Amino acid sequence: MPLIFISSESKNSRRQLAEDLAKKLGYGCLCREDLIEEATKAGIPVGKLEVAMIKSPAMSERLARQKERYIAFITAALCERAMEGNFVYHGRAGHLLLQGISHIIKVRLVVTQETRIAEAMTQLKLGRDKAVGYVKDVDEDIERWVRYFYGVNRDKPGQYDVAVNLENMSLSNASAMLCYMAELPDFRPTPASLRALENRSLEARARKKLALDPQTENTDLKVRAENGVVTVTYMPRQPGVAQIIPEVLAGLAGCKEVMCTMATTNILWVQEKFDPHCEAFHQLNQIAQRWDAAIELVRFTVPPDLENVFGGTYVEVDQSAEQALAGTSNQFTAEPPKAEYNGGIEDDVESDKVKDVGGVSDTIQELVNIGRSGGAHTIRGNFHTLLSVIRGDVKYSLIVLGDLFLSKSHETQVRLTRELGGYLAERVGVPVITSDELQKKYLVGKKQFLKMLLYSAAVAALYLVIFFAQGPLLPFLGDTEHMQQRIIRMVAIFLFIPVVAYLYGTVTSLFLKFLKFE
Amino acid sequence: MEHVAGEYFIHLDLYVALQVILLGFIGGTLSGFIGSGGAFFMTPGMMNLGVQGVVAVGSNIAHKFGKAMVGSRKHGEMGNVDKKLALFLVLTSYAGIWLAVWINSKLFAGGGGGEHGAPKGAGANLYISIVFITILSVVALSMLRDVMRTAKDEGMGPSRKISEFLSRLRLPPMIYFKVADVKVSLWVLMMVGLATGYLAGTIGVGGFIGVPAMIYVFGIPTAVAAGTELYLAMFMGAWGAVNYAWQGFVDIRLTMLMYLGSLLGIYIGAYGVKVVNEVYIRLVTGLIIIICALSRGVAIPMYLRQLGYVNMDPAFDTYFNGASKVLLFLAGFGGVAVILFHVFRAHRRRRSIQVVMEYAKT
């Protein structure tokens, strides 16, 4: 049976609905206020954090750490409860904490403004005008909290499975409808969704452990977990933490391996088949070294019978990562084999060796060797499914689309890749390029060297002209008597300055790229 | 300093040219590190080299125009530019720039002019210096106070009393900005645009007002605020450059020499941000800015004497100017040395990690 997460700004209504629903389904019931109490007891200043986030969103390092800590705590608590049994959760935006898990029904509960005003008048003993102002303020605060905390607009319908409007429906009928919905096969737990929940649980527990340990509490870490392998990325300014992280995470239940990667940002590489010896890998590695970036792999395939590549029906998500390290295989299988963790030591017997579908294992192993691994996923579905793997809390700087849609004709491949690029660029807000463009846009070769020489010559010529012509130039620059001179000077400066900045800026940028300093 | 052609353009020899390039490099490095324009260092630096304040501002704003154009393109690619917001701000900022240019030109024409041995433009120099000191002191003291509060573990960040008040002001009409995802009152927008333009036109550092206002008053994410400000700076720079060019106060030679240093420095400063923690960045920035303000303060008696407000031997001008120059370069060199130290240490560490990785592979 699925878990049910109800989000609403009306505390009363969401509580009533959740409790009724939990009673009907025989579930436990959990609310935001319980979790906040637990978090506060654990030393997270939730009230202070909430005020700071709502009042002004400028994120200091300290505030960002507290936010990460809070999210890790709440997510870990939710995952722990989910492992114990089913429950109904109600809060403001709980649906955003465990995204991408298909056996959670995400409900948006809409309550009329009048009901909320009446509630405020009764509970807080306010006059109507004050109650109206109070409800408006609460709405704005919740809106800000969700926007700054999760980076989304809570009114976007795509993030919920269902919206229940209580204007024309009773609470009891809404509850009955959700009971029926919970019986639907679409929301039953699948091996993939349970694995995704396990991953999120491990990730949150690892983050929580790091946040609570005095050695790592003041560091900026990003944690991802896939199949027992925890990948922790840390900032270049905190290099000493790499040795401490494995010590802190030692003994964490479910953690088979800890990998630490120094990175300030992630590069997402989407491709159908990976090969650690290909040119794109070599080029991406060069860029990642310059940017202090981790490379995150996504093996993305589209089912041949898929009609709408952009969105619509959720097809299938199977996440697998670092199988080479974990020594397990779960590619597209209903039940993943329960192989024992072997620390990466394989038997000599060939038949036991896992088949590396799509080259993900070999490529991720190579990235681990060079200290650039940002984890890996295998996705099968449409563009929307792919988008679900791109998380808002990870700072991406570049998305690279490699060879995709291999079962289609060349023309279709080109078209679909272009459409996917546009789709992702619009939604993620980072540059999206194809692997063919890497050299041209981000690397330096013969062409870039020639360009640098050419631009340098142009810059030198411009500087020589200006500095050898100072005699006639200065009276022209300082003349205030002739209208014509003044107009020409204005236009000349307006046109000349950007040209110099562009030419010399390009020369400098290329020169530093040659020095691998970016 | 010898002035040529139209009285107020300095004579450029190799020594002076190298100093301007160095100013550009230090300004660019600080700019990349702090995330705001480096004009707070370059403008007074040029004034110390004998450039008229109004020419230093004019040449700097022209420098800002080209630099912002190159930078905003990268921010645009990352989706960090709200063009609609920039458009609203730019309209009022033009009024602010126009006002600043008008005041500077009037003071330049009126102040000094030969009495008391004063070079022309002493009035404008004094005015620019006072605005500089006021703004830089407020910014630096706020930064240093934040650092102290963080060190004492008080609060979560900068004080937000004023911004909270302004952000609660919901004077209609409210305008929605899609990229930044905020609603802002037109009147607040106009106020911020005017102040940003005025400061950009007067001292060339509109970003000191624009970015914090966008973050704290409008509630815009930091990356979008920085990208939008840079986009706005491109238009403000263009408008300022054109206005100052009309008045004959843009020395294109200085602008070009500054580019030689600044465009290189920006990359180094920006790299520094990746390898230095935020509190340390604020501390270094605060100290640099406060010393820059102090440096301008030391030059004030010289302008007061030139305007006849203070009786002092003109021979002292050299000492005041020298002391001001020493303080400014101390701030610049000190700041850049700290940044370069961290940048090269991180670069070397990164290389050694790569060597270890390569060794492990083989």
Q: What is the CATH number of the domain that holds A8?
A: 3.40.50.300
Average pLDDT over residues B76-84: 75
Question: Per-residue pLDDT tens for A122-133?
Answer: 888 888 888 888
Instruction: Specify the pLDDT at position B21.
Output: 93
Question: Where are the extended beta strands (E) located within A329-437?
Answer: 373-380, 396-401, 432-434
DSSP reduced 3-state for B23 = helix
Q: Does position A317 have pLDDT exceeding 70, yes or no?
A: no
Which of B66, B221, B271 comes nearest A500 by C-beta? Answer: B66
Q: Does position B40 have pLDDT exceeding 70, yes or no?
A: yes
Which tokens sit at B233? 């700076």
Instruction: Specify the pLDDT at position A72.
Output: 84
Q: In terms of domains, do A52 and A140 share one?
A: yes
Report whether A518 contacts A290 (CB < 8 A): yes
| Total tally of structural domains belonging to chain A | 3
Q: What is the CATH number of the domain that holds A252?
A: 3.40.50.620
Q: Considering only residues 142 to 171 of chain A, which have any Cβ-Cβ distance to chain B shorter than 8 Å?
A: 144, 147, 153
Q: In terms of domains, do A61 and A174 share one?
A: yes
Q: In terms of domains, do A318 and A463 share one?
A: no
Question: Per-residue pLDDT tens for A426-482?
Answer: 777 778 888 888 877 777 778 888 999 999 999 999 999 988 888 888 888 877 777
Q: Considering only residues 278 to 337 of chain B, which have any Cβ-Cβ distance to chain A shorter than 8 Å?
A: 278-279
Q: Considering only residues 209 to 248 of chain A, which have any Cβ-Cβ distance to chain B shorter than 8 Å?
A: 235-239
Which tokens sit at A184? 């639907």
Q: In terms of domains, do A174 and A297 share one?
A: no
Nearest CA in chain B to A46: B156
Looking at residue A66, its amino acid is Q
Instruction: Specify the pLDDT at position A457.
Output: 95
Which of A475, A500, A509 comes nearest B5 by C-beta? Answer: A475
Q: Does position B170 have pLDDT exceeding 50, yes or no?
A: yes
For residue B185, the number of C-alpha atoms closer than 13 Å in the C-beta half-sphere is 13
Higher-confidence position of B117 and A424: A424
Q: In terms of domains, do A209 and A149 share one?
A: no
Average pLDDT over residues A92-118: 85
Among the listed ranges A112-126, A255-269, A311-325, A417-431, which one has the minimum average pLDDT value?
Answer: A311-325
For residue A362, the number of C-alpha atoms closer than 13 Å in the C-beta half-sphere is 14
Q: For strands A293-301 and A373-380, give the pairing.
A: parallel
Instruction: Specify the pLDDT at position B260.
Output: 92
Among the listed ranges A350-359, B7-16, B255-264, B326-335, which one has the minimum average pLDDT value?
Answer: A350-359
Q: Does position A332 have pLDDT exceeding 60, yes or no?
A: no
Please report the DSSP string for A173-225 in residue order: HHHHHHHHHHTSGGGS--HHHHHHHHHHHHHHHHHHHHHHSTTTTTS-EEEEE
Contact A57 B167 (CB under 8 A): no
Which tokens sit at A456? 């340098």
Instruction: Specify the pLDDT at position B18.
Output: 92
Checking phi first, is residue A381 left (phi over 0); if not, alpha (psi -120 to 50) or beta? left
Average pLDDT over residues B173-186: 78
Nearest CA in chain B to A237: B275
Average pLDDT over residues A497-509: 90
Round to whole Å and give the CA distance between A208 and B220: 29
Among the listed ranges A230-234, A307-311, A335-339, B135-139, which one has the minimum average pLDDT value?
Answer: A335-339
Q: In terms of domains, do A117 and A185 share one?
A: yes
Question: Where are the extended beta strands (E) located within chain B?
Answer: 3-4, 9-10, 174-177, 182-185
Residue to test with chain B: of A261, A497, A515, A518, most B Cβ within 10 A: A497
Average pLDDT over residues A180-187: 87
Contact B346 A237 (CB under 8 A): yes
Which tokens sit at A38? 């637990």
Residue to test with chain A: of B252, B277, B347, B357, most A Cβ within 10 A: B252
Q: What is the ipTM of this complex?
A: 0.78
**Mean residue pLDDT across chain A:** 79
Instruction: Specify the pLDDT at position A59.
Output: 54
Contact B274 A237 (CB under 8 A): yes
Q: Does position A51 have pLDDT exceeding 90, yes or no?
A: no
Quick one: three-class SS letters along A20-43? HHHHHHCCEEEEHHHHHHHHHHCC
Q: Considering only residues 125 to 154 of chain B, which have any Cβ-Cβ distance to chain A shorter than 8 Å?
A: 150
| DSSP code at position A169 | S
Q: In terms of domains, do A78 and A197 share one?
A: no
Alpha-carbon distance A284 to nearest alpha carbon in chain B (angstroms) = 15
- Edge-first strand order for the sheet with A373-380 is A316-318, A373-380, A293-301, A265-271, A396-401, A432-434
Contact A239 B349 (CB under 8 A): yes
Which tokens sit at B359? 């060794």
Question: Per-residue pLDDT tens for A241-283?
Answer: 777 888 888 888 888 888 777 777 788 899 988 888 888 888 8
Q: Does position A347 have pLDDT exceeding 50, yes or no?
A: no
Q: Of A141, A169, A189, which one is at a domain's C-terminal end?
A: A189
Average pLDDT over residues B149-153: 62
Report whether B309 contacts B123 (CB < 8 A): no
Alpha helix positions (H), A405-445? 410-428, 438-442
Q: Which strand (E) or helix (H) includes residue A163? A: strand A162-165
Quick one: three-class SS letters along A49-73? HHHHHHHCCCCCHHHHHHHHHHHHH
Instruction: Specify the pLDDT at position A341.
Output: 41
Q: In terms of domains, do A422 and A508 share one?
A: no
Report whether A292 contacts A264 (CB < 8 A): yes
Which of B164, B275, B353 comes nearest A56 by C-beta? Answer: B164
Average pLDDT over residues B345-350: 70
Contacts of residue A264 in chain B, CB cutoff 8 Å?
A: 274
Question: Per-residue pLDDT tens for B180-236?
Answer: 777 788 888 888 888 888 888 887 776 777 777 777 677 777 777 777 888 888 888
Instruction: Specify the pLDDT at position A239.
Output: 66
Preceding amide of B173 cis, omega within 30: yes
Measured between CB atoms, does B354 come within 8 Å of chain A? yes
Determine the structural domain holding residue A455 and report its residue range: 446-514
Report whether B39 contacts B204 (CB < 8 A): yes
Contact A466 B252 (CB under 8 A): yes
Q: In terms of domains, do A234 and A132 share one?
A: no
Contact A512 B267 (CB under 8 A): yes
Higher-confidence position of A35 and A336: A35
DSSP reduced 3-state for A354 = coil
Q: In terms of domains, do A231 and A198 share one?
A: yes
Q: In terms of domains, do A140 and A182 share one?
A: yes
Report whether A161 contacts A155 (CB < 8 A): no
Q: Of A189, A214, A237, which one is at a domain's C-terminal end?
A: A189
Measured between CB atoms, does B270 come within 8 Å of chain A? no
Contact B267 A518 (CB under 8 A): yes
Average pLDDT over residues A152-173: 83
Contacts of residue A56 in chain B, CB cutoff 8 Å?
A: 157, 160, 163-164, 167, 215-216, 219
Contacts of residue B158 in chain A, CB cutoff 8 Å?
A: 58, 60
Q: In terms of domains, do A379 and A510 share one?
A: no
Contacts of residue A49 in chain B, CB cutoff 8 Å?
A: 156
Round to whole Å and give the CA distance between B150 and B158: 9
Q: Does position B358 have pLDDT exceeding 70, yes or no?
A: no
Q: Of A140, A162, A189, which one is at a domain's C-terminal end?
A: A189
Q: Does position A358 have pLDDT exceeding 80, yes or no?
A: no
Higher-confidence position of A347 and B82: B82
Instruction: Specify the pLDDT at position B114.
Output: 46
